Amino acid sequence: MGLDKKEDFVQKLAQTWEREDAEQRIAEVLNAARNGTMQTIRDSDGVFELTFKPEIKKEPAGRYLARGGPIKR
């Protein structure tokens, strides 16, 4: 793995912000978390670890069964 790719990989793993910076750039922090990069925000007495967890929408069982046919997994 080349140096640039390794740095990109590490950058994708986490990004650290000071609380004041994170507050001023909250949209950037949230977008980075949505894109899969954990955001760490340092506060005076600890850290916040921000990740994005997408909502999984499941089809209701009745509608799924009403479609008929073979069950696809």
User: Which domains occur in the chain, in start order?
Assistant: 11-66 (3.40.1620)
pLDDT value at residue 38: 95
Contact 38, 50 (CB under 8 A): yes
Contact 35, 17 (CB under 8 A): no
pLDDT value at residue 1: 45
Within the chain, which residues score under 70 in pLDDT? Answer: 1-13, 71-73
> Taken in order 64, 65, 67, 71, is the CA torsion positive or negative?
positive
- Considering the entire predicted model, what is its pTM? 0.60
Cα separation of the two ends of the chain: 36
pLDDT value at residue 23: 97
pLDDT value at residue 57: 84
Separation between Cα atoms, residue 41 and residue 55, nearest integer Å: 23
Length of the chain: 73
